[in-house]
A and B are shown apart, each in its own frame.
Chain A
Amino acid sequence: MDKVKEFKVVNKSVDKIDSMQLALGKPSFVADLVPEDALIIKMLGSPHSHARITSIDTSAAEAMPGVHCVLCHENSPRHLHLTAGQGYPEPSPYDTAVFDYKVRHVGDRVAAVAAETAEIAEAALEKIEVEYEVLEPVLSIEEALRDGSPVIHDEPDVSHPLPVPFQPEKNIVSEVGMKEGDLDHEMETADYTFDHFYETPYAQHVPIETHVSFAYLDAADRVVIVTSTQVPFHCRRIVAQALGMDVKKFRVIKPRIGGGFGSKQEMLLEDVCALMALRTRRCCFWQLTREENFRYGRTRHPINFRLRTAMTAEGVLTGIGMEAVCNTGAYGGHGLPVVGCCGSKVLPLYRWKHIDFDAKVVYTNLPVGGAYRGFGATQAYFALESQLDEMGHAIGMDPVEMRLKNHIQEGEGSPVFAALGEGKAGVEMTIGSCGLSECIKLGAEEIGWGRRTLPEEKTGRYRRGLGLATLMQGSSIPEIDMGAASIKMNEDGSFNLLFGATDLGTGADTVLAQIAAEELGTTVDMMLVYACDTDLTPFDVGAYASSTTYLSGEAVRKAAAKVKAQILGVAAEMMNKPIDELTVRDANVVAADGSEVTFSAVAVYSLYERNQFQIMDVASHITHKSPPPFSAHYVDVVVDTFTGKVKVEKYVAAIDCGTAINPKLAEGQTEGAVMNGVSYAICEEYLFDSKGRMTNANMQDYHIHSLRDKPKIKTILVPSYEDTGPFGAKSVSEISINGAAPAIGNAIFNATGARLRRFPFTPERVWRAIREQSTVPSPSPEAVLSI
């Protein structure tokens, strides 16, 4: 590929191609497309964290007028599978039945009803008689690992498709680790060592559209599933597996997705919709309520860390030991890949010589962990970047200098890349592009880092602090994930661009259209994008692992290059000129002598005039590396030391995502991820009662940040060029959610001298930390009364 950095379409902020229809409120989402006569599905969720269903009587519900089908474990197929959408065979256990005789968390599936109306379905749920043998629940990582703890997955048919250490009898989903050098020795001999524990909370994506799907039988009796999914092809495969049927029986269509952030990398409703459609021969529609979405939808895995580090007196980082225990909740889901990313996306950021990584995933009777933007890196960066701040503070080294001195550079590798993959070894890699130093410098300038003072220099009730975190992520899963695209030319010179990749609001359809238009020498408005429909579009693993631009984008570029070659071939025949004298420009084929034919003329010729054929091609792409984007995040916060309230005033994210295919969309990805990260860091957390029941399963008590809470956000795109990506691009979507928790935690320390190793940084938690750790004086009673 030519390293052309002057682009016509790429690296331009063209308008998002679906924005107009969405701004006008046109029917776009799954719920907008449901046929009027669809049956409504409602689910009976478990009231218990851990119980065996000893009897279930659905006869009264079935007898109700308007009820068409009631499903439970007694009348549904049992083929244990995995709901997480991943490459096949998956690095995760087959531990889920369509309906099971055991429930493993509050809100777990017990039964479902399809009825003429939602009211009838809800009334029918109340008529289902269930008797439970309530079992002792496992409600923490510690309880899960205790000898003699209740076994959550004691079903005899549970299995794992890959040879990983799966020990359900010990509530262990998996373990993964690596060693490099001699950390124990380094910890004994290094100038400075650190050893602390960190915890991250249960949190959720909270897309504004909850999970939603419907299914119906087409005229040939195939099951068509219309669903809000990030992984249409995985969804098709998993539904077939769960129901014990052939893949060819199913067609999955993804319209617009109302937000995903990883939550919809899951087959959550589609098996039930399909089975209901098969049983009733009616269209069956299911949308989760917001409460169900909290209880039954997926979450960010809470992870407990012990982090040990070593460095020289000069601030050279030498050793790191990360122990991570990940709570995946009731089902194995994405547990192993998530905890693997705690290592693979985090440890290589600095040049450690001695590395111990030791991670475990455990089952509990709590909500199920899933894929969530950041995917393990978010949790691990909280531990790493918090500790790095402590290390710098211990030797009086500025956090900026600390990072500039130690971060990975272009041309360097890390033993971590080869050691950690997805359920198997990873892929060796050297860094091809890294703009991190520039990110760090530009971010520092933008936030005004020069005015930063030390905690002990501050006075007064309101204390300002500045904090920094640096980050990397990846772009796709190398040697595993594949994306494909097809392009077909029409007689007006337009092109149908079809791919399996899924735009979940990110603007991927626009970005992929830009890549195709750039390669073809035309404009975005001539690209007719359609995605995704498993009957029509080529395969793609779907939207995850920061892969769409880098992986699917290169598939699109390759398909466009093949179509371009066909166009030039036809034009050569038309113009009677050698093909190597021809190029494409502004939707024309141009010869060396300046003569030209339009794309439209080429298409008309190829379709109607001579030697007719369809100008069309398909290309697939796999990647051999996962080039990291890099980023430096700075925050400016004010802490009210009387109340513990933290206000984030300004947030700067400087990011190297290679060539930004669409700078405005890349900034949008960054701003959205930053805001989500700030909300997660400041206030988001699942709360549970003593029985494991979530007590804040609504948007009032589980607050996500509104416009009222928004800090000033400044995004700085720092260009670099990744040779292996389409037109130099790397990923941008996930990385920027990772910075808020550590950067804000570091800023709170800078403001108050109090170090919080657990978030969200709620007023109570911050207030206690200040009282316990710092010398900030307590307010006088008079001052408190005056608040």
Chain B
Amino acid sequence: MKRKINVEVNGEAHEREVEPRTLLVHFLREELGLTGTNVGCETSLCGACTVWLDGLAVKSCTQLAVQADGLSVTTIEGLSGNGRMHPLQEAFWEEHGLQCGYCTPGMVMAGAKLLEADPDPEEADIRAALKGNLCRCTGYHNIVRAVRRAAEGGS
């Protein structure tokens, strides 16, 4: 039995009928065509699917779309706008914070949320904030540098 939900995604209101079992990530990717949010493990462990739900960084592979009813969602596509990249996206590019780029949208969403709460995080804060986002390519070295660069550029 489908249920009607109203979700604001990247500032745009969407009214859709979804199956109650539909996961938020599938709603975003398949229903709205926002494919920037990736699926890596289906179990909240890798963080590739991280989005903001009502202002909190959450893993959208273990949230139901119906849980987003009446709330706002921001995805990687919503982070940049008006021809401007988020400083952290720019920093990932400049610091070589990504290789294959599959974990990047989730990493950026988690990192940008950290910077919102703490504009000048220490390395220990970055480690703590991003420990739920796995990357197999970079060794994390330049991911930490990218977050630091975004912090320095923003302050």
A residues with CB within 8 A of B = 13, 15-16, 18-20, 22-29, 31-32, 36, 119, 205-210, 256-261, 289-290, 504-507, 664-665, 668, 671-676, 698-700, 704, 706-708, 710, 713
Contacts and interface: CB of A to CB of B under 8 A. Distances in A.
10 contacts: A19-B93, A25-B77, A207-B136, A208-B48, A257-B100, A507-B99, A668-B141, A671-B139, A708-B128, A713-B141
Interface stretch (B1-9, B63-71, B101-109): B101-109
B120 interface: no
B131 A208 contact: no
Nearest to A505: B100
Contacts of A675: 138-141
Given A27-B35, A29-B38, A707 B89 contact: no
B136 A671 contact: no
Contacts of A23: 85, 89-90, 92-93, 98, 101, 104, 108
A710 B136 contact: no
B101 to A, nearest CB: 3
Contact of B132 (A19, A672, A704, A706): A706
Contact of B138 (A258, A290, A671): A671
B137 interface: yes
B36 A24 contact: yes
A699 B46 contact: yes
Contacts of A22: 98, 100-101, 104
A209 B43 CA distance: 14
Given A25-B75, A208-B48, A258-B38, A710 B139 contact: yes
Contacts of B90: 23
B36 A26 contact: yes
Interface residues of B, number: 53
A15 B134 CA distance: 23
Contacts, number: 166
B102 A668 contact: no
Contacts of A15: 93-94, 96
A750 to B, nearest CB: 24
Interface of B: 21, 29-30, 35-43, 45-46, 48, 75-77, 80, 85, 89-90, 92-94, 96, 98-105, 108, 126-128, 130-144
Contacts of A31: 29, 35, 38-39
A700 B132 CA distance: 11
A507 B96 CA distance: 10
Given A15-B94, A675-B138, A708-B127, 5 more contacts: A22-B100, A119-B21, A256-B100, A505-B137, A710-B141
A505 B77 contact: no
Given A25-B36, A208-B48, A698-B45, A707 B131 contact: yes
A257 B131 CA distance: 23
A258 B100 contact: yes
B96 A672 contact: no
A699 B48 CA distance: 13
Given A704-B134, A707-B130, A699 B43 contact: yes
A671 B100 CA distance: 14
Contacts of B127: 707-708, 710
A697 to B, nearest CB: 11
Given A18-B101, A708-B127, A708-B128, A290 B42 contact: yes
A676 B99 CA distance: 14
A256 B101 contact: yes
A210 B28 CA distance: 19
Given A672-B139, A704-B134, A710-B141, A504 B100 contact: yes
| Residue in B30, B42, B141 with the greatest tally of chain A CB atoms within 10 Å | B141
Nearest to B19: A119
A395 B42 CA distance: 53
Contact of A209 (B42, B100, B142): B100
Given A209-B38, A707-B131, A707-B133, A28 B139 contact: no
Contacts of A507: 99
A675 B128 CA distance: 18
A713 B93 contact: no
| Residue in A507, A668, A704 with the greatest tally of chain B CB atoms within 10 Å | A668
A208 B135 contact: yes
A259 B100 contact: yes
Contacts of B130: 706-707
B37 A25 contact: yes
B80 A707 contact: no
A676 B136 contact: yes
A-B pairs, top 8 by smallest CB distance, nearest first, are A25-B36, A505-B100, A22-B101, A258-B102, A675-B139, A25-B76, A671-B139, A32-B35
B148 to A, nearest CB: 13
A261 B139 CA distance: 13
| Residue in B75, B100, B104 with the greatest tally of chain A CB atoms within 10 Å | B100
B75 to A, nearest CB: 7
Nearest to A261: B136
A207 B43 contact: no
Nearest to A510: B96
Contact of B139 (A13, A16, A674): A674
Contact of B96 (A19, A20, A261): A19
Given A290-B42, A699-B43, A505 B99 contact: yes
Nearest to A678: B139
Contacts of A13: 96
Contact of B101 (A505, A699, A700): A505
A506 B101 CA distance: 10
Given A23-B92, A704-B134, A207 B141 contact: no
B99 A672 contact: yes
Given A23-B89, A24-B85, A29 B102 contact: yes
Nearest to B39: A31
A366 to B, nearest CB: 23
Contacts of B42: 289-290
Contacts of A699: 41, 43, 45-46, 134
| Residue in A16, A22, A707 with the greatest tally of chain B CB atoms within 10 Å | A707
A708 B128 CA distance: 7
B17 to A, nearest CB: 15
A137 B30 CA distance: 42
Contact of A707 (B41, B102, B137, B140): B140
A668 B136 CA distance: 11
B102 A208 contact: yes
Contacts of A710: 127, 139-141
A699 B98 CA distance: 21
Contacts of A257: 100
Contacts of B104: 22-23, 25
A634 to B, nearest CB: 16
A700 B45 contact: yes
A672 B141 CA distance: 8
Contact of A208 (B30, B35, B46, B142): B46
Contacts of B89: 23-24
Nearest to B37: A25
B109 to A, nearest CB: 9
A706 B134 contact: yes
Contacts of A208: 38, 40, 46, 48, 100, 102-103, 134-136
B132 to A, nearest CB: 7
B102 to A, nearest CB: 3
A539 B21 CA distance: 45
Nearest to A669: B99
Nearest to B35: A32
Contacts of B48: 208
| Residue in B29, B38, B76, B131 with the greatest tally of chain A CB atoms within 10 Å | B38
A673 B137 CA distance: 7
